[in-house]
Amino acid sequence: MGVTNTQAPGRSDELVLVLGGTGKTGRRIAARLKDKGVPVRIGSRSAAPAFDWSREDGWDACLEGVTAAYITLAPDLAMPGSTDLIRAFCEQAKRHGVKRLVLLSGRGEAEAQACEKIVQDAGADWTIVRASWFHQNFSEGAFIDMVLAGQITLPVSDVKEPFVDVDDIADVAAAALTEPGHAGEVYEVTGPRLMTFADVAAEISKASAREVAFVEIPHAAFLKGVADSGAPKEVVWMMDYLFSTVLDGRNAYLTDSVQRALGREPRDFADYARDVAATDLWRAVA
């Protein structure tokens, strides 16, 4: 997938590179930019030109003619070596004259904040979008199989999190990539309320009209299950890091970042759960 041909008046000199353009946030951002008539280049291994974080020699082709870039690194900026990758990408972006950088960062992660500093010092206008747990983890991510099985089994107790909707993240990022007034902003995006994972299970149960329980399990047993499922070693590492380090209550507060960026309230988990339930995605397998 290359550059869209859809353009609006006054946008012909813009080209936005969306890294992770087929992922949860990236594909939504790309769709929003195309709706605005902004030319988009998808940054993924299946795109043409292909973008691969492990193949720096291919980045030049992806950055050719780009005026703004959305940066996301899977599975997370907390991964060892992420600062080297972000620094190398920002240096190439600067050489290509990229004027605007928007980074998806991790909330409460010191390693991610080190990557933020690199972007902030890259010589372009920048916006940081910090997020923690997504609503969509339960419909598009690691936990959907648990929901379908009727038990969300995780190594966490009653810690509260400000779960945020990926559509809100995409709206904020799309605005930061194309509109004035967002340069130099750190948007620490949250939903409108704090929730435990038990609260999440209760909301999914209510919306889907089937019982989905939350069950706390030992950390070691959880990691063994992730590894036994065939997950890549970096995903196993990431789950270990999140549940042993970040999920300790450090993010248990709300912000007004969605309101500041978009002028509206963030989407509540109950609304998300109702919409997903209406698609029958969470219907139990007979």
The CATH number of residue 34's host domain is: 3.40.50.720
Distance CA 278, CA 100 (A): 38
Residue 69 lies in a domain: yes
Residue 231 lies in a domain: no
Distance CA 216, CA 154 (A): 5
Tokens of 158: 């009653």
Print the domain residue range for 257: 16-135+164-191+249-267
Residue 172 lies in a domain: yes
- The closest of 86, 93, 222 to 151, measured between CA atoms, is 222
Q: What are phi and psi of 92, to 5 degrees?
A: -70, -40
Residue 99 lies in a domain: yes
Q: Which amino acid, one-letter code, is at 116?
A: E
Residue recorded with tokens 């050719």: 64
Whether the bond into 155 is cis, omega within 30 of 0? no
Q: Domain count for the chain, please give it.
A: 1
Tokens of 217: 């399990």
pLDDT per 10-residue tile (average), the chain, 286 residues: 36 87 97 98 97 97 98 93 97 98 96 97 98 96 93 96 98 98 98 98 97 97 93 92 94 98 98 97 75
Q: Which amino acid, one-letter code, is at 99?
A: K
Residue 155 lies in a domain: no
pLDDT at 178: 97
Residue 239 lies in a domain: no
Residue 149 lies in a domain: no
Residue 84 lies in a domain: yes
- The β-bridge partners of 154 are 216
